[in-house]
Amino acid sequence: MSTIILGIESSCDDTSAAVIADGVLKSNVIASQKVHENYGGVVPELASRAHQQNIVPVVSEAIRQAGISKQDIDAIAFTRGPGLPGSLHVGTSFSKGLALGLNVPLVDVNHLHGHVLSHFIKDDESTEVPEFPFLCLLISGGNSQIVKVNSYSDMEILGQTIDDAAGEAFDKCAKSMGLPYPGGPIIDRMAQEGDATRFKFSKPHIAGYNYSFSGLKTSFLYTLRDEMKLNPNFIEENKNHLAASLQKTIVDILMDKFSKAVKDTGIKTIAIAGGVSANSGVRNAVQEYADRRHLKAFIPKRIYTTDNAAMIAVAGYYKFLDKKFCDITEPPFARVII
C-alpha cells in the first residue's frame, strides 16, 4: 500500500496543496495572488485573507486531481516557517485541524528545506535525483545561501547573504526602473534583448562564502540618478541593456562564491533552488560551469522553483519515513531557521 502525503504551503502569497504517493507526485495545485502587483510588493494582511479564501478549494482540488479520498492520506505535511506570520498561521491552523479530523500525523517542514529537496520530486519512478552530499545554491526573494546537503535532514549553511538577497536586488532595481512587481522575471525577459557589457556595477568583496547585494543595488541606483540628470529618457532608451548588465552582475556574484565552495569542498554534484533559480542567466551559468568542471548539475523545473506544496510534500514524506512528527501545539515561526 502506498504512503500518501498531503502537502500544504502558505508561507507568503501562494496557496498550494500537493499529493505525493511513495515519493511520486500525483497533484500540485497553486493559487497565486495577483492583488499584490498593485502595491509593488506583498501586503501581509491581504495575503492572509487570500489564503483563507483559497486554502479549502486548493486542498480539495489537489485531492481530486490525485484520484484519492481524504481517508487515503497517511500524514499532513505543512510549511511551519519561515514566512509571513499571518500566512503561516492560516496554513498551520488548517493543517492541524485536518490532521485531527483525519486522525493522521502532522509533519512540519522548513520552507527552505523544501526548496532544497525539490530535486527529489518525482514525476515517475525513473526521475533522477541527486546523490548525497551535494551543494545547493538556494536563491530567492528573501534568501541567498550555499547549502551543503548531507542527507534529507542534515543540511549545513556554508554561506549566506549578510544583507539583501539576490531576489531582493532584482526586485528593488526593477522598481527603480519603474517596472511592476515582481521585477525579477521582467528583468530576465528584458535581458535577452540587451548588451550585458554596456554598464558596470559594483561587486562586493566579502570574505568566505557569504553574499552581499546592497552595494550592487546602491551602484545601480546611482547610475540611474546620474545618467537621468543628463538624459531624462535614459531608462527607456537603455532598459534592456540595464537589465542585461544587472542580471550578469548578480549571476557573477552568485557564481563567484558558489564555485569557490565547490572547489573547496570537492563535491561533484551541484544544484540550484528557490525562486531566482528560474532565472535563465542563473540556470545557464550553473549548467555551463558544471559542464566545464565535469560536475553533475540539477536544474529544477520552473514550476518547482517558486513556492509550491510539492516540495513541502516530498520533504514531509522523508520526515514521515523517519517518524519525525510535529506536536499539535507547535506554533509557526517567521524567521529563518535551517
Task: Please tell me the pTM assigned to this model.
Answer: 0.93
With both helix axes pointing from N to C terminus, report the angle between 214-230 and 166-176 in degrees, rounded to the nearest 10: 10
CB 114 within 8 A of CB 250: no
Q: What is the pLDDT of residue 125?
A: 83
Q: What is the pLDDT of residue 44?
A: 75
Q: What is the pLDDT of residue 32?
A: 77
pLDDT tens column, 325-334: 999 999 999 8
User: What is the torsional sign of CA 290, 291, 294, 299?
Assistant: positive
Long-range contacts of 203-206 (CB under 8 A, 24+ apart): 203/249, 203/252, 203/253, 203/256, 204/253, 206/162
Grid coordinates representing 133 are 552530499
Q: What is the pLDDT of residue 46?
A: 84
Q: Which residues of the chain have pLDDT under 50?
A: 338
Q: What is the pLDDT of residue 33?
A: 65
Q: What is the pLDDT of residue 38?
A: 65
Q: Phi/psi class of residue 179: alpha, beta or left (left: φ > 0; alpha: ψ in -120 to 50)?
A: beta
